[in-house]
C-alpha cells in the first residue's frame, strides 16, 4: 500500500498537476493539505475519475485537508478535540480496510506559527498539544496508523539547506522541534529518517531562486505507529514534481507499507 502526503497549495490551482501525478504514481491513499476549498467546491469528480474516494475537511480560501483513497474511507474524523471554537480546517482522519486488516490515516496541516512573537505561535503550540493527545489515543488501539502531513516543523539542522536562516522562524523553534520529538518518543517513526540519513527536502520557497539553488527544507512528514512501522518497505520524495509547470512549493512524500 502506497500512502502519500502532499501540501498541494490550492487544489483548483494545481488540479492538472495533481491529477497528472496521481496517474503516474497511483498511490493507494493520498493525504492533501492546504486545499483552500470548501467541501462543496472541491473538484472531487476529477479524482473520482481516477478511481479515488474523496473525503474533505475544507475551509474557504485557507487551510483545508483531504484524503483520497482507492478504498472507501470509513469513520472520518474532522478536527481535533479540545478547542470547540477552533474553526480552522487542519485535521482529517479515517480508516481504510485492507485484506490484512485496517490502516488508519490522518491528513495534518499544522499551523505555521509565524511570527514567533505573535499569538500565531501560541496557537501552533496549542494545536500541537491537541495532536499529541490524539496521537496517544490512536496508539492505544494498537493498529497501523500513518500521521501524514505538513507539520511546519524542521526537525533537525540536516533538514534545512541553510539552518542558520531559520533560527528565528517558528518552524525551527525549540518548542516546535520538541513537539516533533515527543511524537517520536511516543513510538511514532519518522518514515523518511528511517530510510535515509541524507539531507533531503520537501519544500522550496517560490522566492529567491530557492528551487534552482536546492535551498529547501523538510517539513512534510509521515509518522508511523509501531504497527505501521513494522510494515514499512520504502519511502520516496517526488522531488521532480517541484520542477513542473505551476507547481506547489511542496512535493509528495510516499511510504510503501506491506499491507
Q: Give the residue ranges of the annotated binding site for Mg(2+).
A: 7, 34, 150, 152, 249-250
Q: What is the end-to-end Cα distance of the chain in Å, rounded?
A: 6
Question: Cβ distance 11 to 43 under 8 Å?
Answer: yes
* CA atoms in the 13 A half-sphere facing the CB of 114: 10
Q: What is the DSSP string of 39-74?
A: GGGS-HHHHHTTT-EEEEE--SSS--EEEEESSPPE
Binding residues: 7, 34, 150, 152, 249-250
- Angle at 146 (CA atoms; ends 106, 70), nearest 5 degrees: 70
The H-or-E segment that residue 15 falls in is helix 15-25
Question: Cβ distance 5 to 191 under 8 Å?
Answer: no
Cβ neighbors of 256 (< 8 A, separation 6 or more) are 1, 2, 3, 232, 233, 234, 235, 236
Active-site residue, from 150, 159, 169, 190: 150
Is 150 an annotated catalytic residue? Answer: yes
The C-alpha cell 527544507 sits at: 217
User: Which residues are designated catalytic?
Assistant: 109, 150, 250
Amino acid at each position: 500500500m502506497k500512502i502519500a502526503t502532499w501540501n498541494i497549495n490550492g487544489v483548483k490551482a494545481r488540479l492538472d498537476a495533481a491529477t497528472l501525478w496521481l496517474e503516474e504514481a497511483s498511490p493507494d491513499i493520498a493525504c492533501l493539505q492546504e486545499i483552500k476549498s470548501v467541501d462543496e467546491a472541491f473538484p472531487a469528480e476529477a479524482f473520482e475519475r481516477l478511481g479515488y474516494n474523496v473525503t474533505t475537511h475544507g475551509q474557504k480560501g485557507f487551510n483545508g485537508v483531504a484524503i483520497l483513497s482507492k478504498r472507501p474511507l470509513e469513520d472520518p474524523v474532522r478536527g481535533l478535540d479540545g478547542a470547540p471554537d477552533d474553526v480552522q480546517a487542519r485535521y482529517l482522519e479515517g480508516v481504510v480496510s485492507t485484506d490484512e486488516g485496517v490502516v488508519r490515516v490522518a491528513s495534518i496541516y499544522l499551523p505555521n506559527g509565524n511570527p514567533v512573537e505573535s499569538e500565531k505561535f501560541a496557537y501552533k503550540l496549542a494545536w500541537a498539544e491537541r495532536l499529541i493527545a490524539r496521537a496517544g489515543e490512536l496508539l492505544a488501539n494498537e493498529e497501523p496508523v500513518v500521521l501524514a502531513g505538513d507539520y511546519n516543523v524542521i526537525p533537525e539542522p540536516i533538514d534545512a539547506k541553510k539552518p542558520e536562516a531559520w533560527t528565528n522562524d517558528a518552524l525551527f523553534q525549540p518548542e516546535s522541534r520538541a513537539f516533533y520529538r515527543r511524537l517520536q518518543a511516543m513510538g511514532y517513526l519518522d518514515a523518511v529518517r528511517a530510510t535515509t540519513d541524507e539531507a533531503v527536502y520537501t519544500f522550496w520557497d517560490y522566492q529567491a531562486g530557492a528551487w534552482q539553488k536546492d535551498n529547501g527544507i523538510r517539513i512534510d512528514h509521515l509518522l508511523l505507529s509501531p504497527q505501521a512501522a513494522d510494515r514499512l518497505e520504502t519511502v520516496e520524495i517526488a522531488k521532480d514534481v517541484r520542477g513542473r509547470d505551476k507547481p506547489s512549493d511542496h512535493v509528495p512524500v510516499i511510504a510503501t507499507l506491506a499491507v
